[in-house]
Each structure stands twice: as C-alpha cells, then as structure tokens.
Structure 1
C-alpha cells in the first residue's frame, strides 16, 4: 500500500504520547533518539507481531520526508554465526508510526493506507486524541512499579569466567585469533513493569540507542550506546565501541579517567582490530576505495562509562542494498572478535549457550533497504517472569583477567542497580 504522511509544528511530550497510544498494545516500540549525536528523530508506534524481514520495495514517499525511516520492521535480530542460512528476527510489522523531529520540534504522522481518504481519517482521529494527552507518563509511573529483582545470578562464576579468559588468551598466543569478545549472562526472577523501568532509565542513563520494544514474546529495555549499522541510500556506517573506563563524580578524576582511556595501548589496539575487521566486511559490498574511517578512537562519555568509538563508512556498489550490507556485517565484529569466523567458533566452545538477541541488533529496517540498528548490549530482556542481562568484554594478549571481570561488572551496573538488585558472581 502507498505511504502517506503529514507534518505538524509542535508536539505532545513523547513519554505521554507513547503511554497514551501504545502502552496497552501487545506489540509496541519507542526508538528514543533524543541523545543520539547524529540522529534527531525519535519514533514510536505499534503493529502486528512478526518474525519476517520486510519485503524489498521501492520508496513510495516521492522524497517528501527528511528522514529515511519508513514503516516496515522494528525489532531484534538474534545473534547468529556468519555462515547462518537465515537471520532469526522477532519484532513488529509496522504500518503506521509517529516520528518526532527533535531539532525542529515537529511531528510526522506516517502510514501505509489504501488511499488518502483512509489516511486522513486516521490522521484526524490521532490529532483529536493527542489533544487529550498530558501527564500520562507521570500517572503511569505512579500506578506501575518499575521492574525489579532481588538478585541476579551469573551463569559463570568469577573463577569460571577468569579461567575462560585464560583459555581465550591461549588461543591468541597460538595465533588462532587476535581478539575475542567473551560474554556471560545474568538471570533473575522479576516483578513489576518493564515500561516503568524504561521511563526511569531513559532519564538516568540516556544513550544513543535507547529503546523500548514490547512484543508478544518478550520485552526489551535497552540503553545501548553502540550503532551496529546504519544504511541511508547507498551509504553504510558502522560505529564499533571497544575500550571502557568508569565515570567519576569528581570532575578532575573523571577527566583523568577519560585521558587514561585515550592513551591506553591495549584499549586502542582492541578498537583498531575491530575497525580493520569492519573495513574488511564493508569492502566486500562497497565501491572500491569508498570505505573510510571517518572517526578513529573518539572518546564518547555516557552516564556510567567513557568509551572509545570509531566510525567506519562506505558506499554500496550499485548491485547491493542495505540487506546485503546487513548480512556482510552480521554479527557485529565488536561482539565477536577477530578474525570473525575463528572467533565465533571459539566463542561457541567457551560460552556454551545461545546468545539469543544479545550481541544481535535492535532497531528499524524499511523495505527500501534503509535501516538503523543498534547493538543489543546494555539490554534487559524480559520473558515471562524472568529477566536476563548479558555482558562481556574484548580479550587480547594484553588482558588482565581480574581487570576484564571488573569491566563486565561495570557494564552491568546501570541496569542491575536500576532494578534494585545485586549480582551473585
């Protein structure tokens, strides 16, 4: 069906609008990009549950929209080995959505409809309902306790995780790999409401890929800082994160921690290895000479950590589209190690569990092949009465096991503390 859109000046607050329109839906999403350094659009909506990628189709908007999002698929792509025959997805088939322009304080209404009359009817009904929106998020938080847990249990004890780090270093010493992203998982029973938790987290821990995704199968509360892949037309960008230091409340100490991260040879080498891996992945689908490192080893600071981030981009060859780019880069090199195929094989031996959505991707994919997907990290996944949070870190020849384990604890801290929990390591 054709795509129709309307733009209005001004908006109702996004939290209130989401709660009013979509909180009761079994399948809803909130792609919160208020704190994304190069994306000014937040998107909310709902739809039918889907385990299918969107069908490839041309853009019917006739270039009238200032953003590349189009109704299609919003959801997660589970971690998979590079040679997987197909990618396992779970999410929402979106046919209508609200898009917020943070720079211009404008709001777009998008929908696939049989004709303009049907779209106008929906649009005017939405406007009437928006007029009644106000205080919905505050009311929701007063009547819903945020999801909480008493104690998380790590699938790997501290001693087991340290032993796995030593095994990874043995593989590196033998030349099997250069780097490995070793992970573990925390699990707990929970009570309370994941959306109420998200409403709290997005304020306390703003992140570029802050996401709330609820489906019939699971709910995802993500404060991910990492872009896995962005495709806009022929341009592909990936922004791996490797290198972490904690934040400090003391400004002088915080600056010192930031400077130490920037000069740490182990952390810099770790990031450079993944940049090289992504350059290689992009070279297989991009025009010769078009793959560039736009930003190398930039320090970006978030609520609890400083991190080293690089931006790698390229121009797709004419015969390739965003779906080809997704397959070429998947799974994200920052969550595997290098070389990717060898690293994935060793991870299977060491981790002995399915990663599921963790280390996969979360965000939107349009039928045009454009997409914007964050890495599934710093994410709590709620299924039935259980919640799980997976965490990990990159292992190199220079890794100190105790330091690596402390980094894993640091990465889990924001979500675990927000749920009022402790961790039994």
Structure 2
C-alpha cells in the first residue's frame, strides 16, 4: 500500500479474510492511472457505460450518493464541504491481488513485486490534534427525528435513513496511516482505501451494495445494530436480543422489500429471492443484522443499468425511496456526496463488486477538511435519544482512530450550529 500510495491514483479493497461466498480475492490493489472518467453530470451512468464499452478492462471507481439526481427528479442543495466528483473511475497501470494467500499480478510485469520489496517506507511526523465538531447538535438531531416520525404518522414514508456529519477543519492527517489504524481497529469485509490526487476515502464499511457473479446479482443490505461486549456471556445475549428484536426486524424487512423491488427492474422475471433474512454478523465494534437478496440479471439489461436501477441503495435511503430522499434533502444539513455512495471494481468480463460507503472518513488534503457521517433508520417505533446514541456507537471506531491522532476525546465534541 505504501508503494501504491506514491501514485496519484490508487485503490485498495480488503476483505480482511472474512468468509464471504461472493468475494473472489482476499484483497486487490490497483495503482496508477492509464485512463479515467470523472463527471458530475446527470448522464454519469451513460458515460460510464460508454467508458466501459470503449475500455472493457479492469476498472476501479466510486458513485456518490448525489447520483440519485441522475436516476430521479431530485436535487442536492445542501452545503458541500468536500466537492468530490459525483463519479470517478480509472483503469489501473498495475493490479495486484491475493487469493488464498497467493499473490497474483493481474496487470503489470511480475518484477513489480521486487520493486515493492525494495520500496522504503518513510516515517511521517506526528500530526496536530484534531478538533472534531458536530454539524448537528444533539437537540437539533432529536427534533429532526421527531419531525420525521411525524411524516411517518402522516403516511409520507415508512422508514428513512437520517444522517449527521462530524468534521474537522485545518486537519492535517496522514491518510494511509489513518486507514491502517482504522482497518486494524475495525477490520470489515468491504474495507478500502481510495486515493484520487488530494481526495481520499478511508473506509471500514461492513456492507455490500451490489455484486455481480456470472449472471447473478447479489445485494446485502444492513439494518439493525447492537453494541459488542467484552464479556462473552453478555455479548451473546446482546446478539440474541438483536436477532429477536421486532423493531430491528421491521427496519430490515422494509429495506429487503425495497431491494427486491429495485432488483425486479433488472431481473429475469420470477428470479428475485431472499437468500437470507435477518442474518446476524459480528464485527469488532457492533453486531449487525444483514439480509441477502439476489436475482438473475436479464440478458437484455446492461450491468451498469442494473447498478443504476438499484442506486442509491435502499439501506441508506428509506421507503418509499423517492419521498425518503426528498426528506433526507430537507432535514439533513450537509450534502452527502461520496458518503452513502459506493466504491469498488468492475472486471473485464462485466462482473463487479461494490460496497456501501459508511463507517468511512473522507478527506481533502488540499483544503485540509476531514469529514465522516453516521446515520440510522428512523421508524415509528424508534426513540430519538437512542438513535443518537446508536450514531455515536457506529462512529466509535473512527473516533478511536482520530483520538489516536491526538484529537479531542470522543465524549468532548465541540458542537457547531450550522449557519
């Protein structure tokens, strides 16, 4: 990774050796840029399709959440403090992968391994303390959740994913070192490091957005979160309680139904099925409720159109999807941008695997702005105070990493009212 980080563009996708039926590699590392597509236009998916048809090769990239405006009649007018492009994909000069512990050079000369062995990792000076601020004060968050519950009572929506931003200005961090810390504290199956010049995505996401293997599409939405405990007996009790929690099941099944609906747009008729409902999976900070939905891709549908037909992912929007996204724009105070978007890779044969950008740090080294967002599903049964505490739980790994960098303690945020 240190070798790859010398390039202006690189991407590292790490499964952290989780046992996953659909991942082909333990990790992949793409470095250097032969050709790239960068756009914020509403025809971004069509541009990507043309880019792939012209270059049917390995490519790595991301979709920002605001490409919702390319799929529906929506807008994004909230302040954007990072200004990442809406879509960025690149064809790497070098591609290295690991499968079952064996290194493969997919693109590039095998001698590159010797260059990596000889590469000298330089130490970096310590960075100044970070002042982590909250864009949304606790009271404002609670008031917003209660207002969203009023929309649920009125029948506007059944569920909505409501998010808030934490940020640091004048932030000087080492992105690679920060990612290494994050990936050590919170190893997850869809973790990744994405560098595009001065802009970085440092991700410890546990969620898969959409994957294509052969003619099969697989989506694995997460809804349902519980804390971990160092006490094994208590931890098992928490896990069991999550599995049987009616509220968490209700949140999960609503999103499963939404994903099923999205997949029908691209599926062979009658092929959409729920492979697993309410599966409980454990990660270092949290237990998660994860379901798996799949279908057979209609051969008349281009795989990039299948991505467009399911984007943004239901777990980060709500149901009904369009109304939920309208209310997200109304009640959130920050443009989501890359957060709750997706990054991953496409192979020359049209297979792909993309994550959900959550539990992730976004950083612009030029403007020295650092940001991370957290959110949760708001339903009629939820309690606003508990939802706020769940946000802090989901942010705990990132806060621990930033505290290691010398930032303020996690329970001493400097709150900031949006102007």
Q: Is the 8 A contact 1:146 1:195 kept in 2?
A: no
Question: Retained in 2: the 8 A contact 1:71–1:95?
Answer: no
2:409 is aligned with 1:424: no
Alignment correspondent of 2:82: none
SS of residue in 2 equivalent to 1:275: helix
- How many Å separate the matches in 2 of 1:340 and 1:285? 17
Partner of 1:175: 155
Q: Which position in structure 2 is the counterpart of 1:4?
A: none
Gap change, CA 1:147 and 1:169, over 3 Å in 2 = farther
Measure how far apart 1:346 and its partner are: 1.0
Query: In structure 1, the residue corresponding to 2:292 is in which secondary structure?
Result: strand
Counterpart selection for 2:118 from 132, 145, 152: 132
User: How many Å apart are 1:83 and its aligned residue?
Assistant: 5.0
Q: How far apart are the structure 2 equivalents of 1:57 and 1:123?
A: 25
**1:322 equivalent among 264, 279, 303:** 303
Mapped pair 1:26 → 2:8: yes
Match of 2:378 among 379, 395, 407: 395
Partner of 2:43: none
Corresponding residue for residue 58 of structure 2? 71
* Alignment partners' CA distance in 2, 1:36 and 1:267: 24
Matched, 1:160 2:140: yes
Matched, 1:192 2:173: yes
- How far apart are residue 22 of structure 1 and its match? 1.1
SS in 1 for 2:204: strand
CA displacement, residues 100-128 of structure 1 (integer Å, 9 cap, x when unaligned) = 11x2x2222123xxxxxxxxxx5143244
Question: 1:50, 1:59 → 2: CA distance?
Answer: 11
Distance 1:76 1:145 in 2: 31
SS state at 2:103 partner = strand
Gaps of 5+ in 1: 1-17, 61-69, 112-121
Deviations 1:161-208 (A, max 9, x none): 001101110010011100000001111032230101112222221001
Tell me the number of residue pairs that the alignment of Structure 1 and Structure 2 aligns: 379
SS of 1:23's equivalent in the other structure is helix
After TM superposition, the structure 1 stretch with the greater mean CA deviation from structure 2, 122-131 or 269-278, is 122-131
Q: TM-score, normalised by structure 2?
A: 0.85
Please point out which of 229, 242, 252 is paired with 2:210: 229
Distance 2:127 2:358 in 1: 18
Alpha-carbon contact 1:91-1:215 (below 8 Å) kept: no
Could you list the structure 1 runs, at least 4 aligned residues long, displaced by more than 6 angstroms after superposition.
none
TM-score normalised by L of structure 1: 0.84
